[in-house]
Amino acid sequence: MTDEKKAWGGRFAEELDGVALRYSASIDVDQRLAPQDIRGSIAHVTMLAARGIVSEADAAAIVSGLEQIDGEIARGEFTFRDDREDVHMNVEATLTDRIGAAGGRLHTGRSRNDQVATDMRIFTRDACRATAARVDRFLAVLCARASQTVDVLLPGYTHLQRAQPVRLAHHILAWSEMLDRDRGRLLDAATRMNESPLGCAALAGTTFPIDREQTARALGFDRPMRNSLDAVGDRDFLVEAVSALANCAVHLSRIAEELVLWSSQEFGFIEMSDRYTTGSSIMPQKKNPDMAELARGKTGRVVGDLVTLLVMLKGLPLAYNRDLQEDKPPVFDAFDAVDDTLDVLAGAIASATFGASRMRAALRDGFLDATEVADYLAARDVPFREAHHVAGALVRKCVEERRVLSELTLAEFQTAHAAFDDGIFAALDMEAAVERRDHVGGPARARVEAAINELTARLARRDIDARAVAADVGVVFEEA
């Protein structure tokens, strides 16, 4: 009889069908949880010994054996066996092979149901924090690039149409705000999931006098979970984490889309480093923004991972069901995709060259100063709707005559409305237009510089030296 069959005791007289064994095995995926599984087992057996449920000698042998297995896995020396189905049985069966009957006492007072729920909470909690740290690394890059581009103006867009002038630094800081919220969602999810299922066993706890508070503390949880059915039967903590990842992936995709657009000849706002672009197999002139395009593509996978979890959970009765085995692939995939995308885009932006002259040239076309005309009249007690109409009529005149607003004469302005005077020409200056938007959240120089300083301070409160981290990623700073 196989080790896998022995694990289920004397209830079964026949071997599991080979196809069924292969179909149900999860070791190719969940072996990634080995460090968390061993950590939980050490906490569990330590508690069992403290409560007198197993002997100190058996507990010491189990802990020593688990630590040896943990080291072998870390060094790549451990062989996972398919016939032992999952990570839990691979670790426990190997332990028992090595230390004998004492290994069989490890599973006292617990089930694979609370074991795997504990493993996944540890993994996901720690992964949320690790991804948040990657976001901070990205934020350091954005902070540095913003500080380098305060003087650069470019068109801001709505509907992908040129709208109003802004500072490039202001645009980059918008990216940072999006990602900082994603960081907060990940850490919020990590906090909410930080409760221990260990000791809830299959669904109704155990008859042994265990100490769930002790194991919770040992594993860094805030407290034991309050309900054993809920503890082993739900995976909403995974939904919340992957939802935060999906949101982050969407933000990264939007950033990537702008990098793709900006690197085209039509825009020419940015040139990506050779390290983050590729060529064409047939067209030698091409420099394709493949990393940014892949960031957009991988976002679909992460959104799909979230949908997979939601659909998996939607019809499950309490408590544990084997469907829950399928929670791991989407979770691992979502973290891997977002972590890699954060690293790749951070490097791409750190090493990119911004086309400041091309950005400024783009301010000439598209009547980005039309709002200044309307605001100029409104500041002179002309109702804004009337001012808006006048500015629109002047734009139409310029379109028909293939001119720009700054090329109109004072007489032409005054023909459109008597409230115009020669101050209108200074109002049409793009730098002046940006500087007039001097309020919290606006693109005026003082506001942008304050925002950069605030982001730097925010990162410093997290023990991150933004300049040093950005330099490590690849930002090149001019010599002082």
Q: 428-438: buried (b, 16+ CB within 10 Å) or exposed (e) per residue? A: bebeebbbbbe
388 is catalytic: no
26 is catalytic: no
Active-site residue (options: 280, 281, 389, 406): 280
Active-site residue (options: 159, 196, 251, 263): 159
**Cα(478)–Cα(213) distance, rounded to whole angstroms?**
54
As given in the structure block, the two tokens for residue 334 are 């979502």
Residues in the chain: 480
Q: Give CA separation, 347 vs 135, 218, 414, 445, 472, in Å.
A: 12, 37, 52, 26, 10
Omega before residue 319 within 30° of 0, cis: yes
- Pairing between β-strand 270-271 and β-strand 353-354 as defined by DSSP bridges: antiparallel
Active-site residue numbers?
Answer: 159, 280
